[in-house]
């Protein structure tokens, strides 16, 4: 019988490492697998040759015998003979399926290898709680009491789902794997077992209170800490306070989403506070002072220069919101707007009319004069 060149079959040199052999086998096995080449006899024969070569070369002892004696070492009851099977490779159980190839190649990637107990290791669902707080509470921080309904651990079985002392038995359908395999063409798909729901086990004596799930609907009362400076829309995550897991699995997380209610006077912009203060005509024209309280309850004196225009902003440094995870604070911006006087008395009107008659537009109202000049130049 003619000698077979296993190295040539896999397309590798005689000095190839085990890693090189495996890579070559991966590529060729996927290419020539019968499930992918149905009805192609040449591909089937090629696949047999590939597996025969890899079966020998991946075993150090078989490879040493092959390197010394060639493929004759595996024929007719020679070294490693498998009782008359062609080429020393056992095909009596059929070809390896695609899932087995992927397990060999990727160590269980794509969900083909042994899977852990999915339902008993996966935590319960996370839940969301919306908490509305005032701007003052966001500024100072503090605590808040929460009360909500969710799935909690069963008090009768302690979350195990079992009524008595009997331990869960392996699922008879999936054999304790928690999953079942289904072939679709040359692809093998793995899905959770419908009998055990993916847990891999069934209860001999399910708890009557929770029907074997290990959890029931109940109320939770918590007190949480609100950090100073938390933003509207910010989240506080509390591990283990979400829904209880199935049959004693860890609980999910509680996400508290904080919303800050609008303030009557102040507006928040990131870490800064803003306040709009109306001032009188005389204060704007003659100058003066205004007092603006901050969230600490202190009055901040803002000096208004002579001739202050509406919309002018003044910054009070370090009087804004606390910056999370920092000892610093934002700034406090005070914007002044000029309030036009209303409900004037006869005397007040006379005074204003006299002022209007004596004013120098270019000197007293430079912006108005500049605008009129631009308007005149534009119209021509």
Q: Which of 55-59, 84-88, 163-167, 213-217 has the lowest mean pLDDT?
A: 84-88
Q: Which domains does the chain have, with CATH numbers?
A: 6-108 (1.10.287.110), 123-164+210-262 (2.60.260.20), 266-338 (2.60.260.20), 346-379 (no CATH)
Q: Of the ranges 60-64, 116-120, 359-363, which is most confident?
A: 60-64
List Cβ neighbours of 66 (8 Å cut-off, separation of 6 or more). 6, 56, 57, 73, 74
**Whole-number pLDDT of residue 118:** 45
Average pLDDT in the 350-369 region?
83
Angle ∠(177,181,186) on CA atoms, nearest 5: 150
Is pLDDT larger for residue 341 or for residue 115? Answer: 341
Q: Which of 19-33, 88-102, 135-149, 288-302 has the lowest mean pLDDT?
A: 88-102
Q: What's the rounded Cα separation, in Å, for the pair 313 and 335?
A: 4
Res 84 pLDDT > 80: no
Q: What's the whole-model pTM score?
A: 0.59
Average pLDDT in the 55-59 region?
88
**Whole-number pLDDT of residue 73:** 65
**Residue 291 pLDDT class (50, 70, 90 cuts):** very high
Q: Cβ atoms within 10 A of the Cβ of 229, count?
A: 21
The per-residue pLDDT of the chain, averaged, comes to: 83
**Whole-number pLDDT of residue 75:** 59
Q: What's the rounded Cα separation, in Å, for the pair 160 and 166?
A: 11
Strand partners for 182: 189
CB-facing half-sphere around the CA of 343: CA atoms within 13 A: 0
Is pLDDT larger for residue 207 or for residue 88? Answer: 207
**Whole-number pLDDT of residue 270:** 94
Res 108 pLDDT > 60: no
Asked whether 276 and 325 are in contact (CB, 8 A), the reply is no
What does DSSP assign to residue 26?
Answer: H
Q: What's the rounded Cα separation, in Å, for the pair 203 and 165?
A: 11
Res 309 pLDDT > 70: yes
Average pLDDT in the 283-311 region?
95
Res 375 pLDDT > 90: no
Q: What's the rounded Cα separation, in Å, for the pair 235 and 99?
A: 43
Is pLDDT larger for residue 209 or for residue 107? Answer: 209
- 4 closest CA partner among 61, 48, 44, 59: 48
Q: Is 349 helix (H, G, I), strand (E, B) or coil?
A: helix
Is pLDDT larger for residue 305 or for residue 68? Answer: 305
Q: What's the rounded Cα separation, in Å, for the pair 308 and 185?
A: 81
Asked whether 307 and 367 are in contact (CB, 8 A), the reply is no
**Residue 29 pLDDT class (50, 70, 90 cuts):** confident
Query: What share of the chain in percent tops pLDDT 90?
Result: 46
- 27 closest CA partner among 36, 15, 40: 36
pLDDT tens-place string over residues 275-287: 999 999 899 999 9
Asked whether 323 and 228 are in contact (CB, 8 A), the reply is no
Q: Cβ atoms within 10 A of the Cβ of 172, count?
A: 10
Per-residue HEC secondary structure of 149-195 comes to EEEEECCCCCCCCECCCCCCEECCCCCCCCEEEEEECCEEEEEECCC
**Whole-number pLDDT of residue 302:** 97
pLDDT tens-place string over residues 113-162: 344 444 445 679 999 999 999 999 999 999 999 999 999 999 998 888 88
Q: What's the rounded Cα separation, in Å, for the pair 81 and 263?
A: 87
Query: Quick one: 238 exposed, middle or buried, by C-beta within 10 A (0-12, 13-18, 19+)?
Result: middle
Average pLDDT in the 209-233 region?
94
Asked whether 308 and 336 are in contact (CB, 8 A), the reply is yes
């Amino acid at each position: 019988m003619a000698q077979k060149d296993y190295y040539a079959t896999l397309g590798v040199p005689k000095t190839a490492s085990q890693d090189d052999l495996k890579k070559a086998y991966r590529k060729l096995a996927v290419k020539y697998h019968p499930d992918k080449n149905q009805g192609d006899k040449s591909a089937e024969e090629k696949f047999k040759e590939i597996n025969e070569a890899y079966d020998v070369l991946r075993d150090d002892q078989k490879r040493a015998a092959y390197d010394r004696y060639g493929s004759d070492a595996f024929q007719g009851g020679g070294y490693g003979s498998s009782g008359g099977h062609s080429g020393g490779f056992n095909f009596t159980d059929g070809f390896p399926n695609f899932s087995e190839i992927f397990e060999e190649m990727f160590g269980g990637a794509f969900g083909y290898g042994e899977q852990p107990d999915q339902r008993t290791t996966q935590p319960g669902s996370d839940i969301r709680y919306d908490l509305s707080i005032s701007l003052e509470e966001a500024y100072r921080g503090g605590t808040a009491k929460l009360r909500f309904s969710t799935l909690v651990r069963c008090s009768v079985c302690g979350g195990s789902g079992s009524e008595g002392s009997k331990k869960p038995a392996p699922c008879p359908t999936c054999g304790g794997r928690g999953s079942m395999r289904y072939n679709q063409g040359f692809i093998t798909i793995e899905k959770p077992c419908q009998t055990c729901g993916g847990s891999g086990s069934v209860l001999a004596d399910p708890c009557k209170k929770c029907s074997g799930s290990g959890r029931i609907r109940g109320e939770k009362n918590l007190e949480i800490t609100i950090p100073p400076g938390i933003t509207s829309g910010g989240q506080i995550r509390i591990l283990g306070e979400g829904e209880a897991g199935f049959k004693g699995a860890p609980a999910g997380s509680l996400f508290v989403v904080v919303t800050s209610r609008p303030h009557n006077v102040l507006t928040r912009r990131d870490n800064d506070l803003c306040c709009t203060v109306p001032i009188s005509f005389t204060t704007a024209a003659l100058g003066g002072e205004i007092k603006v309280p901050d969230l600490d309850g202190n009055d901040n004196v803002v000096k208004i220069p002579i001739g202050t225009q509406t919309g002018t902003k003044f910054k009070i440094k370090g009087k804004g919101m606390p910056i999370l995870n920092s000892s610093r604070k934002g700034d406090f911006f005070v914007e002044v707007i000029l309030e036009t006087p209303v409900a004037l008395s006869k005397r007040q009107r006379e005074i204003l009319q006299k002022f209007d008659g004596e004013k120098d537009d270019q000197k007293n109202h430079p912006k108005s004069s500049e605008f009129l000049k631009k308007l005149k130049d534009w119209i021509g």
